[in-house]
Amino acid sequence: MSTSPDNENLTRRRLMMGLPLAGAAVLGVGFWKMLAGMQRGSFNPHDINAPVLNRPVPEFTVPDQAPGQGFSAQDLRGLTKPVLVNFFASWCIPCLAEMPTLMSLKDDLTLWGIAYKDRPENAANFLKHSGNPFTRLGSDHDGRIGMEWGISGVPETFLVGPGGIIRWHTATPLDVDTIRNTLIPLLEKLKAS
Amino acid sequence: MMPLLTPLRRLRRMLPALLVGVSILLAPVLVLAVDDPSEMLPDPKQEARAEAIGSQLRCLVCQNESIEDSGAGLARDLRKVVREHVAKGETDKQIMDWMVDRYGNFIRLSPPLSVGTLLLWSMPVLALLLGLTTAFFAYRRRAAAPAAPPPLSDDEKARLAKLTKD
């Protein structure tokens, strides 16, 4: 059956109407997905997708920070149990707010701390007042070690799995929800494997 | 007395304008991002290169500024790193890779061409094509329409004359 000119005109008109509508629909679905993801917390356009994730810890050595002993990439690679590495600073209010959570974790999980761009005496004082959840403590005085890890501020926390592989990272203060919903399941998965 | 005072008075009247002019002239010097001259490399050629690289790097603290524009501590540290690498004689790509290796592609103010950013990068061409297509169809429709209405008949002319008479 051949199409009459009238029919052809109608198809074209439908196409001209339909194409923009289809385009708008595709865009709409895309935006809806983004917004839904932002609300759920699974999509964050400001996220710095730490490339260190699932990579071995970067090459670094942090000198001792009182009252603890410094450590290096070798120390983390030699571990057989997961360690939580936390960057903190005495000048950082969210770090202060995070400390009780870290204190409550320290009996179940090994915590190592790095004082970021802090005076050693200030960091030591900070830990004296807030309690010290860290078994090893290093000082990143000029922030260069933080750069190697890809941090953009404090507090930031990394879960280092056996063999020194970075398994998880957060750039927000740890809270009970994150520990319960993310950290504990992750630790169980690490234990199982 | 009077003629002597006038130039002074004129100068005083011009003072605000003069101040504005000088500050406008100085503005480009002031907005040079580096807040401490000791940060700058002694070689102006190397400094220019470092600034060019830095202006491509996102400050991760104030995320819509480049590290050259930002006053954040991290931006200052990153500026320093860029200058160290430039002074060492590294290429732009080496320095960019160093940054991306640590902070991911997010640190680049212009995203690299990849499968994920293909639509983004091809958008100008796509928009141009869409516009040209629309223009083409619109033009063809206009060309197909009768160029001018047929001339008025005598009857119509008479009616028009009557209508426009008063």
What pLDDT is stored for residue B111 in this prediction?
Answer: 86
Would you say the pTM of this structure is higher than 0.90?
Answer: no
Determine, yes or no, domain membership for B3. Answer: no
Cα Rg for chain B, rounded, in angstroms?
32
Q: Note whether A143 contacts B: Cβ–Cβ < 8 A.
A: yes
Take residue B55 and report the two structure tokens written for it: 């202006």
- The alpha carbon of residue A15 and the mean position of all alpha carbons in its chain are separated, in whole angstroms, by 47
**Is there a single domain that holds both residue B52 and residue B121?**
no
Kindly give the residue spans of alpha helices, DSSP state H, lying in B39-153: 44-54, 73-87, 92-103, 118-144
Closest CA to B70 of B57, B52, B81, B83: B57
Please name the amino acid found at residue B57: L
Please identify which residue in the block is written with the tokens 């990143």.
Answer: A140
Q: Which residue among B61, B81, B101 places its CB closest to the CB of A152?
A: B61
Determine, yes or no, domain membership for A159. Answer: yes
Q: How far apart are CA A105 and CA B8, in angstroms?
A: 76
Residues in A touching B105 (Cβ below 8 Å): 49
**Is there a single domain that holds both residue B102 and residue B124?**
no
What pLDDT is stored for residue A86 in this prediction?
Answer: 97
Range of the domain at B67: 30-112
Determine, yes or no, domain membership for B9. Answer: no
Q: How far apart are CA A47 and CA A9, in angstroms?
A: 49
* Domain total of chain B: 2
**Is there a single domain that holds both residue A100 and residue A147?**
yes
Closest CA to B66 of B29, B163, B74, B75: B75
* Domain total of chain A: 2
**Is there a single domain that holds both residue A86 and residue A158?**
yes
Give the residue from chain A lying closest to B103, CA to CA: A150
Determine, yes or no, domain membership for B24. Answer: no
Residues in A touching B81 (Cβ below 8 Å): 147
What pLDDT is stored for residue B116 in this prediction?
Answer: 79
- Listed by number, the residues of chain A in 41-100 with a beta carbon closer than 8 Å to a beta carbon of chain B are 46-52, 58
Q: How many CA atoms lie within 13 A of A136 on its CB side?
A: 16
Contact check, Cβ <8 Å, B103/A150: yes
What pLDDT is stored for residue B20 in this prediction?
Answer: 81
**Is there a single domain that holds both residue A26 and residue A105?**
no
Take residue A111 and report the two structure tokens written for it: 């915590």
Q: How many other C-beta atoms lie within 10 A of the C-beta of residue A102?
A: 24
What pLDDT is stored for residue A73 in this prediction?
Answer: 95
Determine, yes or no, domain membership for A54. Answer: no
Q: How far apart are CA A181 and CA A52, in angstroms?
A: 22
**Is there a single domain that holds both residue A18 and residue A82?**
no
CA torsion through residues A177, A180, A185, A188, sign: positive
Listed as ranges, residues in chain B with pLDDT below 50 are: 1
**Is there a single domain that holds both residue B63 and residue B107?**
yes
Preferred mutation among B58, B62, B74, B97 to probe A, highest tally of A CBs within 10 A? B74
Listed as ranges, residues in chain A with pLDDT below 50 are: 1
Q: The complex's ipTM?
A: 0.78
Range of the domain at A29: 1-41
**Is there a single domain that holds both residue A15 and residue A93?**
no
What pLDDT is stored for residue B7 in this prediction?
Answer: 66
What pLDDT is stored for residue B32 in this prediction?
Answer: 53
CB B51 within 8 A of CB B68: yes
Residues in B touching A47 (Cβ below 8 Å): 106
Determine, yes or no, domain membership for B11. Answer: no
In whole angstroms, how far apart are CA B74 and each of A112, B12, B69, B80, B150? Answer: 23, 45, 12, 10, 75
Identify any residues that bridge with A137 across adjacent strands, giving them in sequence order.
Answer: A113
What pLDDT is stored for residue B29 in this prediction?
Answer: 54
Residues in B touching A143 (Cβ below 8 Å): 73-74, 77
HEC letters along chain A: CCCCHHHHHHHHHHHHHHHHHHHHHHHHHHHHHHHHHHHHCCCCCCCCCCCCCCCECCCCEECECCCCCCEEHHHHHCCCCCEEEEEECCCCHHHHHHHHHHHHHCCCCEEEEEEECCCHHHHHHHHHHHCCCCCEEEEECCCHHHHHHCCCCCCEEEEEECCCEEEEEECCCCCHHHHHHHHHHHHHHHHHC
What pLDDT is stored for residue A125 in this prediction?
Answer: 95
